[in-house]
Amino acid sequence: MAANKDKLLESAQKSLKKKQVAKAIRDYAKVVELDPVDVRSRQKLAELYVRTGKNVEAYEHYEAVAKYFSSNGFYLKAIAIYKQMQRLDPSQVALSSRMAELNEKQGLIGNAMSEYRNLVGYYERNGMVADALKVLEKMRDLDAANLNVRIKLAEVYTANERADEGLAEFEAVLADLSEKNEFDKILKLYKIILPLFPKNKKLQMGLALTLYEKGDLKKGISILSGLLQENPQNPDILRLIARGYNDLGEWNSAAETSLQLLELDPSDLDIRELLIKVYFDSNQLDQALSELEEWKEAFFKADRLEKLKNYYEVLKEKLPKNPVILQTLDSIYELTGEGEKLLDILSEKEEPAETTEEETLSDSLLGSVIDDIEVPSIDLELSQEEEEAIVDLPVEEELDLQLEAMDEIALTLDQEDADVDDKLIELDLRDDTDVGSQDTTDLEYSFEMDNVDDESLEPAVAERDIAADLEEAEFYIQQGLYVEAEKLCSDVLVFAPDSEECQQKLTEIHQYLHTKTEEPVAESTDLPAELSTEDFPEFPDVAESVDVLTDETDKEQKVFRTDVDEQIAADDMESHYNLGIAYREMGLLDDAVSEFTKAEKDPSRYVDCQTLKGLCYSEKGEFDSAELVFQQALDSPHLEEEQRLSLGYELARLYGSAERLEDALSCYQSVMEQDQNYRDIREKIAALQERLGIVSDSDAGRMEESKERISFI
């Protein structure tokens, strides 16, 4: 059998050289019949069927080859075969599922997500909702950080009578974004959710809070005010409105709202604190002191002594001579055991405070302790003189003696009350009310906010080092970072509009971006750039909430970006590189270029990837694109000498294919100057010189020698 197989393979090769494809197909078919496991011969047979337009037969043999590679762990080869089958018959949706699974096994998560995305699109177009949901759930589990997938899943849940699951998924995404303080994304997400759940007040309150965090207090208050009309006694809404008014500096409205809340629950110390904070922020210190004096006992009993101390310390700075403030601070420091501060307070008093009937916090605390202690009576037999001396004591001395006796009793209780004192000292009260808008300047995605004078925010124009900028742009170009290079060159042209070098680089960048192969984009679940009430006529309850978002001018970029490129950093660069090679061998040149573009993110593979991309473009006849990537590889700082020779040789071949014979000859000669024996360089140069009618020095020498011999004869 082996002898027959070898003869058939030899015959097939001869037939192909003679371009007798039909005969070669017959030979390969016999080889496959003799040895069904010979996948190379089966793959060659499939390729020949494709050349002759017999796609059905080719598909059958490709499938056998793909299953063999897949079952034996050759996932990249299997992927390349399935990709070719997909080209032959795009209607075979099962191929996307197989390719997704193989890419996932190979660690190419981005490619797997792209295939799954194709599946979702197919299932949606054909009304196969259950299948679409299964794939979306698999995508979510595969890449939990992919916001678009999770949002799409939530939308499909909601649209197919699974609203509870959809809302839960939306809320999970909101929670993740909130942890990262990504308020721009949260705003965009609300634009999707609110039309789906127009009656959900919790979502509308969440939108208002997000606007607060973005510093857009008026819009937030507008939403909350609309909700308050439906439920005027809702304490949660009133709290948020009071906070918004306070942060906005509308003190009267903040105070009125706080008082309205206190009417609902006078014992709510959180609201009491908010009212006090309003008085502080609006510099109404007398009102703040009045509130504090009235409610200091309640603050103490609620373990808010530290907060109370902070308020009174601020008041002391503002009103340093106020005896009421000093007296209360005196009591607070006594309770917290801050002796040094207590002495400072006592020294600041201009004159000893007269004894009043009003009890301080410390008096009430110590008094309650003493009341619980039974002091044993001690009968002392005193002489008449001693009794008279006691009777004659002044009242003040008698009081001092009594205080000294009380001090001794208190000292005996120190150990017993140590836990109580420690508890008072270690109180850690949180300031829940001071939650003003956070600084979001470090957010990855920025928005143009209303009422902001852009000119007032622009820094003073500084001198730019144009040469350094152009050098940096060149580095970006060499690394394939064309978007960054384009932005930098555009910035340079603002400062140096006459820079020809910069203009040339920008033209080069635009040329590449224009010819760059774009990857397929999934059905967009990105948030709309602008919404208004007209977008949601069937949702009147949510229209007002959506209206407040319409003033945002969204930049033209994907906020929820889920393209395959995002996953490249986490994928295996070597797998992308090898898959590109497999695609190129299969003649899938566009797919090969796409994989090499991903793999070139690895600096060690940049030159090789650019070279292979150039070869792909050359095979497609896109000579300008091929020349561009070859030149980029030649300019790479990672270029090695052997790679330089190879690139020069391939560039010369490219010029030859493009009929730029003089450029080709120049490149070949440059390579020969570096290595005279490189590949078939001499034959290439000789052939070009002959086509161009150029006589080389060696040929001229031989011709002259021949003439001399003839003349001699």
The structure tokens listed for 375 are 């002091």
Q: Name the residue with higher pLDDT: 400 or 255.
A: 255
pLDDT at 388: 46
Stronger pLDDT, 583 or 534, i.e. the higher one? 583
More confidently predicted of 574 and 207 = 207
Average pLDDT over residues 105-111: 88
3-state SS string for 273-330: HHHHHHHHHCCCHHHHHHHHHHHHHHHHHCCCHHHHHHHHHHHHHHCCCCHHHHHHHH
Alpha helices in 589-640 (DSSP H): 589-599, 606-620, 623-634
Residue 98 has pLDDT above 50, yes or no: yes
What six digits make up the tokens of 253? 């409205």
Share of the chain above pLDDT 90, in %: 26
Query: Looking at the predicted structure, is the pLDDT value of residue 349 above 70?
Result: no
User: Residue 55: pLDDT above 70?
Assistant: yes
For residues 511-519, average pLDDT: 53
pLDDT of residue 532: 35
| Domain 2-348 architecture | Alpha Horseshoe (1.25)
pLDDT higher than 60, residue 172: yes
* Least confident window among 258-267, 445-454, 500-509, 535-544: 445-454
| Residue 142 reports pLDDT greater than 80 | yes
The string over 468-488, giving b where at least 16 C-beta atoms fall within 10 Å of a residue's C-beta and e elsewhere, is: ebbebbbbbbbbbbbebbbeb
Q: What is the pLDDT of residue 459?
A: 36
Give the residue-averaged pLDDT of 432-439: 36
Mean pLDDT (whole number) for 362-375: 42
In whole angstroms, give the CA distance from residue 306 to residue 285. Answer: 19
Rg (the chain; Cα; Å): 42
Over range 224-248, report the average pLDDT. 89
pLDDT in tens, 288-301: 899 899 998 988 88
pLDDT tier for residue 373 given thresholds of 50, 70 and 90:
very low
CATH superfamily of 600-712: Tetratricopeptide repeat domain (1.25.40.10)
What pLDDT, on the 0 to 100 scale, is given for residue 82?
Answer: 92
The reported pLDDT for the residue numbered 224 is 92
List phi, psi (to 5°) of 562. Answer: -135, 20
Q: Is the pLDDT of residue 304 over 50?
A: yes
The torsion angles phi and psi of 451, rounded to 5 degrees, stand at 60, 30
- Cβ-in-10-Å burial (0-12, 13-18, 19+) of 124 comes to middle
d(Cα 412, Cα 376) in Å, to the nearest integer?
14
Q: Mean per-residue pLDDT for 205-212?
A: 92
Nearest partner of 131 among 141, 143, 121, 140, judged by Cα: 121
pLDDT band at 553 (very low <50, low <70, confident <90, very high): very low
Which whole number is the average pLDDT over 445-457? 34
- The confidence score (pLDDT) of residue 126 equals 92
Going by C-alpha positions, the residue among 314, 337, 336 that lies closest to residue 325 is 314
Mean pLDDT confidence for 323-344: 82
* Region at 175 (left for phi over 0; alpha for psi -120 to 50; beta for the rest): alpha
Range 509-533 average pLDDT: 46
- The confidence score (pLDDT) of residue 430 equals 36
Q: For residues 550 and 211, give the distance between their C-alpha atoms in angstroms, rounded to a whole number.
A: 13
Rounded average pLDDT over 671-681: 87
* Greater pLDDT, 550 or 508: 508
Q: Say if residue 124's pLDDT is above 50.
A: yes
Most confident segment among 72-86, 358-372, 475-489, 509-523:
72-86
Answer whether 120's CB lies under 8 Å from 129's CB: no
Q: How many CB atoms lie within 10 A of CB 260?
A: 16
Q: Is the pLDDT of residue 666 over 60?
A: yes
Average pLDDT, the chain: 75
Reported as a single tens digit per residue, the pLDDT across 245-275 is 988 888 888 889 888 888 888 888 888 888 8
| CB-based contact 106:79 (threshold 8 Å) | yes
Give 571-623 pLDDT, tens digit per residue.
678 888 888 888 888 888 898 898 899 888 888 888 889 999 999 998 889 98
Q: Name the amino acid, one letter, at 636.
A: S
- Give 641's pLDDT tier (boundaries 50, 70, 90): confident
Q: What's the pLDDT tens digit per position in 7-21?
A: 899 999 999 988 899
Pull the structure tokens for residue 262.
């206190």
Q: Is residue 138's pLDDT more than 60?
A: yes
Q: Residue with structure tokens 């794939």?
A: 135
625 C-beta neighbours (distance < 10 Å), count? 22
Q: Is the pLDDT of residue 384 over 60?
A: no
pLDDT at 693 over 70: yes
Structure token pair of residue 687? 């052939």
CB-CB contact of 314 with 336 (8 Å): no
Least confident of 39-43, 501-505, 653-657: 501-505
Closest by CA to 312, choosing from 297, 334, 327, is 327
Confidence of residue 478 (pLDDT cuts 50, 70, 90): low
pLDDT at 314 over 80: yes
In the chain, ranges of CATH 1.25.40.10 domains: 2-348, 600-712
Residues of the chain with pLDDT > 70: what percent?
70
Q: Is residue 342's pLDDT more than 50?
A: yes
Selection from 319-333, 445-459, 464-478, 505-519 with the highest mean pLDDT: 319-333
| Cα 545-548-551 angle, rounded to 5 deg | 150
What is the mean predicted confidence (pLDDT) over 205-221? 92
**CA atoms of 143 and 439, how far apart (whole Å):** 30
670, 636 Cβ separation under 8 angstroms: no
Mean pLDDT of 80-106: 91
Tokens matching residue 294: 């009235």
Spatial distance between the Cα atoms of 8 and 519, rounded to a whole number of angstroms: 42
